Amino acid sequence: MRDEVYRNDRQIVDFAFTAEVAAVFPDMIRRSVPGYETIIPMTGLMAARHLGADGVAFDLGCSLGATTLAILTQNDAEDVRVIGVDTSGPMIEGARANITDPRASFVEADFRDVDLHGASVVVLNLVLQFIEPESRLPALTRIRQSMREDGLLLITEKVRHDGPALHTYYDDTHLAWKRANGYSDLEVSQKRTALENVMRIDTEEAHLERFAAAGFSFAEQWFRCLNWASFMVRP
Ligand SMILES: C[S@@+](CC[C@H](N)C(=O)[O-])C[C@H]1O[C@@H](n2cnc3c(N)ncnc32)[C@H](O)[C@@H]1O
């Protein structure tokens, strides 16, 4: 279904992953996040290879389960498990309806409250940016302490460039790309206002420092498109 959430003039409240958003989410994210159509299958492939024959992956902030599905599509071992976690009831309902693979399960919860012990793979695609900045390091530290020593964290975030000129260039290019994808000026500006208080982004350097502070010993940016970056991170 086409995303027309911000098509008409509306009273702008903080963005949330409501039923209205869940209904159009695949179209919304595809037209809003540059590189999404590369990031998800590639995350799926990397996670699937790391899982082997019987690993457990957590897809935290799974929304409708796109990454969960991408992982399971790339690994046909009967004993692998992927657990999708999301705070949004409509997203979890949608994921359960969309994905019938018995190796997938979905939990409606805050990922910070979920027991991640024994995870071979943890995915956080476009999620950390939505939690309070002060709880990001504790959340990553908990993931590091729960996951296997040979585990893999795959994380994608919108990032802010340290240099204001380059940040503005990427940002303007992103807005032009959204318009090229059929969003009007009104849609772009209303969505931006709605996200202002709920999506607080960090620089790439802040991410790398936080991975180290959380106890990870290796972090590499494996993908970048404008202001979006994907990292693979290891204990
Ligand atoms: C941009 S979407 C993620 C997209 C998804 N990972 C994908 O790649 O298709 C962000 C999701 O994170 C969820 N979320 C935000 N904070 C969360 C939290 N603390 N625990 C679990 N889910 C959370 C939201 O409900 C939303 O579905």
Whole-number Å distance, alpha carbon 196 to ligand 1 midpoint, is: 17
- % of the chain surpassing 90 pLDDT: 77
Q: How far does the centroid of ligand 1 lie from the alpha carbon of residue 36, in Å?
A: 14
The residues spanned by each domain of the chain are 1-235
- At the second CATH level, the architecture of 1-235 is 3-Layer(aba) Sandwich (3.40)
pLDDT greater than 90 at residue 110: yes
Q: Ligand 1, atom 1: nearest CA belongs to which residue?
A: 126
CA of 139 to the centre of ligand 1 (A): 14
List residues near ligand 1 (CB under 6 A): 17, 29, 40, 60-63, 66-67, 85-88, 91, 110-112, 125-127, 130-131
For the stretch 70-109, pLDDT in tens is: 999 999 999 999 999 999 999 999 999 999 999 999 999 9
Contacts 24+ apart (CB under 8 A), 15-21: 15/191, 15/194, 15/195, 15/198, 15/199, 16/88, 16/198, 17/63, 17/86, 17/87, 17/88, 17/90, 17/91, 18/88, 18/90, 19/90, 21/90
In angstroms, the CA 43 to CA 39 distance is: 6
pLDDT higher than 70, residue 6: no
Residue 117 has pLDDT above 80, yes or no: yes
| pLDDT exceeds 80 at position 8 | no
What's the pLDDT at 194? 76
For residue 48, pLDDT over 80 is answered with yes
For the chain, give the mean pLDDT: 93
Collapsed DSSP state (helix, strand, coil) of residue 158: strand
Closest CA to ligand 1's atom 14 = 61
Q: Rg for the chain (alpha carbons), in Å? A: 17
- The structure's pTM equals 0.95
Under a CB-based contact definition with an 8 Å cutoff, are residues 126 and 157 in contact? yes
Ligand 1 center from residue 62 Cα (angstroms): 6
